[in-house]
Structure formats: C-alpha cells, structure tokens
A and B are shown apart, each in its own frame.
Chain A
Amino acid sequence: MNMNLFFKEIRRNATSLLIWMIIITVLITITMSVYRTFMENQSKITGMLSLLPKGALQFKGISNFNDLLSVLGFYAANNVIYMMVLGSIFAIVLSSNILLKEEYDKTAEYLLTRPVTRSEVFLSKLAVISINVFLLNFITSLAGFICMEIVKNGPFSISSFLVLSLYTLLLNFLFGAIGLFISTLIRRAKPITTFAIGLVLIFYFIYTLSKITEGISKLGYISPFRFVDMNVISSSYKLDILHLAYFIGISILLIILSYRIYIRKDIYT
C-alpha cells in the first residue's frame, strides 16, 4: 500500500463521504422522528395499512404489522432503503470510479509512472473504499441507534441491531466489490456511474419482486439483498453463517479477480 496515494484518495473522497453521511443521517432522523406519532396513532395507522395489499408492505420490508410497533422493527422497515440501497449506491459509485476515473481523466499517466506498483495502487484504493464504506455505515448506524434511544418506548435488542448493521455493512461492501470488479473489465475507460447505480436498483427491484411474487421467489437469490435477514423482531434473529459466508466469499472472490485483472490491465488514456 502507498500512503501518499492513500491519503490523497481519502482527502479526495472526503466531501462526497460527508454529503452521503449527512443525507442518510437526515433521512433516518426524519423517519425515526415520526415513530412516537406513529405509536400514538397506531390503531388508525394499522387500520390504514391493513387496507394496503400485503405485497405493498413487503415491498417496504414489512412482513407483519406488529413489527412496526417495536422501535427496532420500525427502524428496520423504514430505513432499509436508506442504509441498504443508498449505502450500496455510495459504495458502488465510489468503487467503480476509484480506479477507472484515473483512466478516463487521464491522470493515470501521472500515477502509474510513479515508483508505485499496480498492487500498491490497487491495495491503496481498496483500503479507501473499505474505510469509506465502514465510516458511512458506522456513522449512519450510530445515528439510527441514537434516534432509537431517543424515541423508544421500551427496550430493544442491541445485538439484533448490531446484526442488522453488520448485514448492511456486508451488503454495502459487496456492492463495493462488484463496482471494483466491473471497473476493471472496462477496456476503454468511460464513466459507469449510471450503470452502477442502475445495477443496485435492479438488484433491489428483483429482490422486492421476488418477495411479493411467489412464483419467482427463487429469482430473489440472484440479488445480494435477498441474503440480508430483515426479520429483526424475531427472537431467533442472528447472523446466519451461510449468509455471512456468501457476503464475505463473493466479496473476496470479486476483489481477487479485480486485482488479478488490474495488475495486468493495459491502461489507455
């Protein structure tokens, strides 16, 4: 790893990280701020929700109305789109650009002609992705935790919260690995941000579609979202070893493939 490159990348991405942190934190805070009002009017709201098709609720990750009555259930159901979808978009946009941008901005001619190996470039940039994804998850989860502490009307399981947060981190990191991998496959460098964002949304769409349509429920397994256990209210809620292996295994596999491609890649500027 090259520290000069690492710190330059950290500085370069700091503003973007800060903006994403603020946006997600604000969205979580706004959502959690309505929890008390929700509880005060739970009978009316539950009545309203009962009029909605079951699929529409599942689209939001709600399998049972009662899940919403617990602060953790409310948090999980309402913040999934912010922390999982937006967090994954942040991760994939960052990772798909971090190597490729040097190529299409032609700055690779100044980076790769320094006394630094391709391995060092790759590892420095990978470290930047990892730290950024971790910081985003840490800050937004902390914001979520503080919000829940403020609005809760009873205790909630901290271990379940930590497991959900870990799933979110692993999901975000997997999308980071996907972005990195795709970027190394691009021969003639051009921005792939739109494609990367689209990929996250497509995977989320496949996941939600598979949840509300029984006939294609198996299709959901092609989406990484399917491997996040959202049933946070369940008393047996814990980190599933197979799901953990899926996230870590696929992420490591994609990173190794990206590394092997990048160190032999022709860089055209």
Chain B
Amino acid sequence: MSLPIIDINDLSKSYGKARGIKHINLEIKEGEIFGFIGPNGAGKSTTIRILMNMIFPDSGSARIMGMDVTRETKNIKKITGYIPSDANMYSSMDVREFLNYCTGFYSIENAEKRTTELSELFELDMSRKIDELSMGNRKKVSIIQSLLHSPKLLILDEPTTGLDPLMQSVFFELLRSENKKGMTIFFSSHILSEVQSLCKRVAIIKEGKLIQIEDIDNLRKKQLKKVTIEFEGDEKKEILGIPGIESFIPAAGNIMSFMYSGNVNELVRFLTGKHIVNLMIEEPSLDEIFLHYYKS
C-alpha cells in the first residue's frame, strides 16, 4: 500500500479555551482531491498552518510524504504549493517581480514560460503593482505562485475568496487537470458546494474536532436543502405530511422553515395552489448541516 501523502496523527494545538484543534487524525491518499470543510474558526487554518510549519503543534504529529512537518519542512515545501486564505503580498513589488521572487526559491526549468502561461490563463497583467490589484487579482497571483514549481501536493486555504465565478471555473478546471497529471489537492473551505463539486472525499471539522470523513457521494445522497415558506394564512400544518422533511427550524408567524431531503419538484407540486407569499429553497449553511446531522 502506498504511503499517505498527508498523515496526521492525534494532532492538537490550543490557543486558549475554545480555539485550536483537538486530536485530529487524518490520512490523505496520493492523487486525491480532498475537501476539508468547517465553519470559520473551526480549526481548518490551524491544521494547515501546522502542515506548512507556520505554527508548531502542542502534541501529535503530521507527515507529508513520510516527512515530518516540523523537522523536514524544507524538503516538504519543495514539493508542496500553498494558497493562503489572505492574499497579502509585498505591496511595493509588481506582479512579475513577486512571481520571479517566488520562483527564485526553486530550481524550475522554464520558469519564465510557466509564469507566462499561468498569468495568461488567469488573464493577469504582470506589469501591475501588487498594491494596485483588486482582491480578485491578488488571489490570481496567489494561485499562480502556488503552481509555478508544479508541486506534487497543493494545499488550499479558502482559495476562491474574491474570485469571480468565471475565474473560479477556470481555477477549478486547472485543479482537475493538474490532479489528472498526479497532483494531490487538499482543499479547505467553508463553502460546501465548491468542495462538493471538486472533491472525492471530505473531512468535516467543527470546534477543533474532526467530526466525520465522508465520500462526497455519500454526502450528496444526504444532500439537504433549507426550505423557508411564508404563507398568507395559517396553512403551516398542511405541510407537515410532505415526505422528505428532515427537521424543522424555529420560525415565527406564518413562516415555516425546515431541512428537506426529498425531491424539490414534488415539494413545488405540493405547494401549488397554496397561498404563498414567499418561497426560498437554499443551500443550508454548514452550521445548519452540522446541527442537523450531528445534534438532532
């Protein structure tokens, strides 16, 4: 059996009472696109920062390709790319200067060609000063710098913040293509839909604890919608019989809110003829999913 590309054993880091991570165990196989989801403050960035040796664990260990993240960090970083959640770069540099500075840490053949290819793909003007760039363009620079040395492992911490939908799709397509060439991707996000669309497996973290590791297909089978209906009159009770209602969310007045795992078409058919003021079918927040699956 091949060595896991990321192997986290009983990893803990505390920042005080309610922060940090507690006894995280996780194995990510080579070639996977692995999702790491949880609400803000759940411990995603803490885990990633330990992997990148920005911070040191209180206990436990983590290895990347068999190398210890604290003792063999230099060798790990030769083969790892990283996109931080914030895109704060050296503001006095222009894009080309920054990317050249980044490539200067590696032995990259045809570095200039690779830089140009990636910047063209993301439609990025390399002559612009970093402090003149929008958040979205900074994010593009951040993505490009992570891929310049063609890493075997790419670690992404909320990588899509600030990217417009078109560029998100270019980025995801690039990730899929790099994954086909053998790159393993560790994708951290608090947006379930983007993790679902890209990843094969996913780990859910909440309040520093790993709650679940699931195949994305299983998660899809359990896919929930949050439905909120505002009725004109007191018709709330009629809805109780609809199959697929998983749990109710407290709501006031003539508003009915619930988690729904059934067929949306059937729900709409059922509602036809009812006196509805407002109908919302939306993706539940992670907190709501956590609440549904792990508390109720």
Contacts and interface: CB of A to CB of B under 8 A. Distances in A.
Contact of A2 (B53, B105, B145): B105
A97 to B, nearest CB: 13
B56 A266 contact: yes
B54 interface: yes
B92 A12 contact: yes
B53 A269 contact: no
A191 to B, nearest CB: 15
Given A4-B101, A267-B54, A269-B84, A115 B106 contact: yes
B77 A115 contact: yes
Contact of B74 (A106, A108, A115): A115
A5 B106 CA distance: 12
21 contacts: A2-B105, A4-B101, A4-B104, A5-B105, A8-B101, A106-B86, A107-B88, A107-B89, A110-B89, A110-B102, A112-B54, A113-B80, A114-B102, A115-B78, A115-B106, A116-B77, A116-B105, A117-B73, A117-B74, A267-B55, A268-B55
B258 interface: no
Interface of B: 49, 52-56, 73-75, 77-78, 80, 82, 84, 86, 88-92, 101-102, 104-106, 145
Interface of A: 2, 4-5, 8, 12, 105-110, 112-117, 264, 266-269
A172 B202 CA distance: 54
B73 A109 contact: no
A202 to B, nearest CB: 31
The secondary structure that dominates the B interface is loop
A109 B84 contact: yes
Given A4-B104, A4-B105, A110-B89, A116 B74 contact: yes
A106 B88 contact: yes
A116 B207 CA distance: 32
Nearest to A103: B54
B79 to A, nearest CB: 9
B226 to A, nearest CB: 34
B282 to A, nearest CB: 33
A109 B56 contact: no
A99 to B, nearest CB: 14
A8, A12, A105, A110 — most chain B CB neighbours (10 Å): A110
